[in-house]
Amino acid sequence: MKTMKIFILTMVMAMSAAIGAQAQVLRDANYEAMGRISPNGMVRGHDSVSKGCFEPDGTVKDKAGNVLGRIDRLEIFDNQGTRIGYINTNGTVRNGNSEVLGTINLGDGKVTDASHNVLGYARGIRVDWIACYFFFDFFKK
């Protein structure tokens, strides 16, 4: 069972990371560009100014290099090490109390809240990075 769970996790990560050589655009509910995330994890606003980055080890940092949190196997932790959320293999995003925050459609990248309102679009970006951006507000400052 553990092997199957790891396989599913790997497939979700691979499907959500089908990224080309260029940064992928983050779009709001009106499909207006609001930023970009490059394949190496650099997050930029719509004005191309850095907002932070996702490090290869899962660390999430702001533009000053301060640790905002960490990602580990589709689980999201704050900078104190507390699990603040996770992503199910179907794209459902939940908070630390297992309450549904919303969904990331693994096919088209549409991001919706728990009431099914469209928050935005993030096609071709890793699902855990999308969750940090839209649901856990790591780069809203």
Q: What is the pLDDT of residues 53-89, one digit of tens each?
A: 999 999 999 999 999 999 999 999 999 999 999 999 9
DSSP 68-94: EEEEETTEEEETTS-EEEEE-TTSEEE
Q: 52: phi > 0 → left, psi -120 to 50 → alpha, else beta; which?
A: left
Instruction: State how far the alpha carbon of 79 is from the alpha carbons of 14, 52, 61, 86, 127, in Å.
Output: 26, 14, 10, 15, 20
Asked if residue 141 belongs to a domain, the reply is no
> Where does the pLDDT of residue 40 fall: very low under 50, low under 70, confident under 90, or very high at 90 and above?
very high
Burial (CB < 10 A; 0-12, 13-18, 19+), residue 77, is buried
Domain of 19 in residue numbering reads as: 2-134
Question: The domain that contains 63 carries what CATH number?
Answer: 2.40.160
| Structural domain count of the chain | 1
Asked if residue 140 belongs to a domain, the reply is no
Tokens of 29: 């509910």
Q: What is the mean pLDDT of residues 109-125?
A: 95
